[in-house]
Amino acid sequence: MVAHIEQFDRKGSGEAVIWRENELGNPKKLRLTIPQTLIGEKVRLTVDQPDRRRRKAMPDEILEAHPERTVPPCPHFERCGGCVWQHWDYEGQLKQKTDHVKHALAEQGYDPDLVRDTLGMDNPWRYRNKMEFTFSPEGELGLHEQGNFRKIISLETCLIASEEMVEATMEVADWVKDHGLVGYNKDLHEGLLRHLMVRQSFETGELMLGLFATEAPSAHQKAVDDLVNRISEKFPQVKSLLWMENTAWADRTQAEEIHLLAGRDYIYDEMAGYRFRLWFDTFFQTNPTQAQKLVDLAIELGQPKETEKMIDLFCGVGTFSLPFASKVGKLAGIEIVESSIESAKRNAEDNGISNTTFLAKDARKGIDEMLESFGHPELLMLDPPRSGAGGKVMRRIGRSKPDRIVYVSCNPDTFATDIKELEPFGYTLKEVQPVDLFPHTVHVECVAILVLK
């Protein structure tokens, strides 16, 4: 079967449509999802059950290649679900991300010319400061196979993680094999090792290793002692070695009890000249090089003034709050996760910042409470999750009437629908700057400024 790739789906795979006749001679449409292809390519593929309406298949042969197609450097690319666009020249990826943002805004009636070209990386490799790897039931450590979360690809390398992170990960993989330890079987809900989380500060060099297991470390004390010795001798930059008990059915890196095997239970990181403490579950921007650009852009577009009050919605541990706090009179941060608010307070104290107030509350209710105690903000910033802030929160922002709104988004589609809610309140979108935090994936971040007429 031959297909022409017409567009991408939301996960970055190519899509094609083939028309055929059914048994009555009527036209029948087959929608195909074809990973590792590019728009405009002509491919040959084998489709099982082609009588269905939708099927997914890998290309057997690229008959007409896109001029920007390139050879993926990672040996795991064809099977791994981590990167979807390693076969595409980086400049092509950046243009696609710009077009995605423009299209999302145009669908809501905005001028796509408000969107600048996406800011990429000089070197779009080794950019991640955090990775989560999974153990197979046999004890192999690696990443999920593309489209199959029950299949683990044994790790040889990872070109988007730092070399030190990969080396430490391989040491843990060898330790598991040397002691004959088993992984967790998701179907049978039995086994020991579930995940390995690796985190590193690019600024301080400190590393954190966190093992997620179904039993306490005391049940495997001899092996645990050997792990501590190996890591201490070979990786002195590991300042936090943790063992997390997790017996829940949900396949997430969560902990019911935390055991500190060596070092402290956090590492230090730095961004925009400020120091942060990161625990295993602390949300922090995964690409520190590009995250610094996000902070700089937010300040550039927001134009904070020493005489102003500012509210930072979805403030997390204060990634944006601390840099902004040094440029405004007072800053209030709102975040629903209590542990993040405690971290934000501690981070402000560690950095000698005393003009901040942090509130652990839902965004919409938090705005109401903060407006009463804090007063009217001239500047408001929000950095919501991928699902967006939602209509209720956006309308509440509109009613609070800040002079300027800085929106940092990790999802152009929810960003566009969110800011549409601000139009009836008199806000005008002035500028949008996309930033590529995740090269070789479909994801793109944006920083935008909206001004009250």
Same domain, 393 and 294: yes
Asked if residue 49 has pLDDT above 90, the reply is: no
Same domain, 311 and 408: yes
Asked if residue 246 has pLDDT above 80, the reply is: yes
- Rounded to an integer, the average pLDDT of 259-266 is 97
Residue 50 pLDDT grade (very low, low, confident, very high; cuts 50, 70, 90) = confident
Q: How far apart are CA 293 and CA 287, in angstroms?
A: 10
3-class DSSP state of 387? coil
The set of residues, in sequence order, having a beta carbon less than 8 Å from that of 373 and lying 6+ positions away, is: none
In degrees, rounded to 5, the angle at the alpha carbon of residue 242 between the alpha carbons of residues 236 and 243 is 140
pLDDT of residue 314: 97
pLDDT tens-digit series, residues 115-129: 999 999 999 999 999
Asked if residue 149 has pLDDT above 80, the reply is: no
Mean pLDDT of the chain: 95
pLDDT tens-digit series, residues 316-333: 999 999 999 999 999 999
Q: Quick check: 102 and 416 in contact, CB under 8 A?
A: no
pLDDT of residue 374: 93
Q: How far apart are CA 134 and CA 212, in angstroms?
A: 9
Which is more confidently placed, 255 or 380?
A: 380
What's the DSSP call for residue 12?
S
146: burial class by Cβ within 10 Å (0-12, 13-18, 19+)? buried
Residue with tokens 């003034």: 305
User: Across the chain, how many H-helices and E-strands are there?
Assistant: 9, 23
Q: How many CA atoms lie within 13 A of 449 on its CB side?
A: 18
Residue 276 falls inside a structural domain: no
- What's the maximum distance between 2 C-alpha atoms anywhere in the chain? 77
Asked if residue 107 has pLDDT above 80, the reply is: yes
Same domain, 294 and 260: no
Neighbours of 422 (CB within 10 A): 19
pLDDT of residue 341: 96
Residue 27 pLDDT grade (very low, low, confident, very high; cuts 50, 70, 90) = confident
Residue type, 221: Q
Asked if residue 366 has pLDDT above 80, the reply is: yes
Which candidate, 304, 284, 262, places its Cα nearest to that of 347? Answer: 284
Q: How many residues does the chain have?
A: 453
Question: Of 222, 239, 271, which residue is a domain's last?
Answer: 271
Residue 29 falls inside a structural domain: yes
Residue 303 falls inside a structural domain: yes
Same domain, 161 and 310: no
pLDDT of residue 28: 87
Which is more confidently placed, 74 or 155?
A: 74
- Rounded to an integer, the average pLDDT of 263-268 is 97
Sign of the CA dihedral with 105 first, then 111, 113, and 116 last = negative
Residue 101 pLDDT grade (very low, low, confident, very high; cuts 50, 70, 90) = very high
pTM: 0.93
Assign residue 436 the CATH number of its domain: 3.40.50.150
Residue 167 pLDDT grade (very low, low, confident, very high; cuts 50, 70, 90) = very high
Range of the domain at 231: 130-271
Q: How many CA atoms lie within 13 A of 305 on its CB side?
A: 7
pLDDT of residue 447: 98
pLDDT tens-digit series, residues 269-316: 999 999 999 999 998 999 999 999 999 999 999 999 999 999 999 999
Residue 85 falls inside a structural domain: no
pLDDT tens-digit series, residues 330-349: 999 999 999 999 999 999 99
Residue 413 falls inside a structural domain: yes
Same domain, 214 and 300: no
Same domain, 379 and 293: yes
Q: How far apart are CA 127 and CA 82, in angstroms?
A: 13
- Rounded to an integer, the average pLDDT of 247-264 is 91
pLDDT of residue 387: 96
- Rounded to an integer, the average pLDDT of 213-236 is 97
- What's the number of domains the chain is made of? 3
Question: What share of the chain has pLDDT > 90, as a percent?
Answer: 89
Q: How far apart are CA 53 and CA 18, in angstroms?
A: 10
Q: Hey, which residues are catalytic here? A: 410
Same domain, 291 and 425: yes
| Residues 88, 417, 389, 289, Cα dihedral to 10° | 30
Assign residue 19 the CATH number of its domain: 2.40.50.140
Residue 279 falls inside a structural domain: no
Tokens of 336: 């629903």
Residue 163 falls inside a structural domain: yes
| Long-range Cβ pairs for the range 55-61 (8 Å, 24+) | 55/30, 55/31, 56/13, 56/32, 56/147, 57/32, 57/33, 58/34, 59/34
Asked if residue 144 has pLDDT above 90, the reply is: no
Same domain, 169 and 204: yes
Same domain, 388 and 289: yes
Question: What share of the chain has pLDDT > 70, as a percent?
Answer: 100
Same domain, 112 and 19: no
Same domain, 229 and 151: yes
- Rounded to an integer, the average pLDDT of 425-450 is 98
Asked if residue 21 has pLDDT above 80, the reply is: no
Same domain, 267 and 289: no
Residue 244 falls inside a structural domain: yes
Asked if residue 74 has pLDDT above 90, the reply is: yes
Asked if residue 81 has pLDDT above 80, the reply is: no
